[in-house]
Structure 1
Amino acid sequence: MSQIVIESKPSATRLEQLGVSKWPTWSKEVSTFPWVFPEQEIAYVLEGEVVITPDGGGAPVTFRKGDLVTFPAGLRCTWEVKQPLRKHYQLDGTLVGRIYRRIKLFFTR
């Protein structure tokens, strides 16, 4: 499985090229919860701090405000939101493909 990739403080040009300002946003209060990434996700952190620990003994990864983070498809992990999170995000693939992967994931737990 690929690793989580963090690009700290990407340039305004890079963010503009990706179209980050047009991506949807997601927020989460301080909490801890399990998560699975059915497809690759790219997120730009607007506020907060999070520690993600991959399942199976992977090293924890911390990201915070100003980081551009790529999560690989298939990653199973635990999120620990240390400071309230607000992020822009983009999911890989089409809507139909994302729905299919989520249904498949539900039935293969």
Structure 2
Amino acid sequence: MSKIVVESNPPAARLEALGVGKWPTWSKEVSVFPWVFPEQEIAYVLEGEVVIKPDDGSAPVVFRKGDLVTFPAGLRCTWEVKQPLRKHYHLDGTLIGRIYRRAKLFFTR
């Protein structure tokens, strides 16, 4: 499995090229919860601070406002939202593919 990649304060041109401003947003209050990434996700953090602890024992990864973060497909982890989070996000693949991967995860637990 690949690692989480954090780009701190990427250039505006990079964000524009990715179309970040058109991505949907997601918010989460201070909390701790398990998560699985069925497909690769790229997120741009608008507010907050989070520590991700991969289940495979890899070192925790911290990201915060202004970071562009790539989460690899298949990553199982625990999120610790230390400051309320608001992010833009983009999921790889088609809607049908995303539905399939989530159903597969649900039924193979």
TM-score range, shorter chain: over 0.9
Per-residue CA distance 1:8-46 (angstroms, 9 max, x = gap):
100110000000000000000000000000000000000
Per-residue CA distance 1:46-82 (angstroms, 9 max, x = gap):
0000000000211100000000000000000000000
Of all paired residues, the percent bearing the same amino acid is: 86
Q: 2:35 is matched with which residue?
A: 35
So what's the TM-score if we normalise by structure 1? 0.99
CA-atom RMSD, angstroms?
0.4
Q: CA separation in 1, counterparts of 2:3 and 2:108?
A: 23
Q: CA separation in 2, counterparts of 1:83 and 1:102?
A: 28
Runs of 4+ in 1 over 2 A off after TM superposition: none
Q: CA separation in 1, counterparts of 2:61 and 2:11?
A: 22
So what's the TM-score if we normalise by structure 2? 0.99
Q: CA separation in 1, counterparts of 2:96 and 2:34?
A: 24
Q: 2:16 is matched with which residue?
A: 16
Q: 1:68 is matched with which residue?
A: 68
Equivalenced residues, count = 109
List gaps (5 residues or longer) in structure 1: none
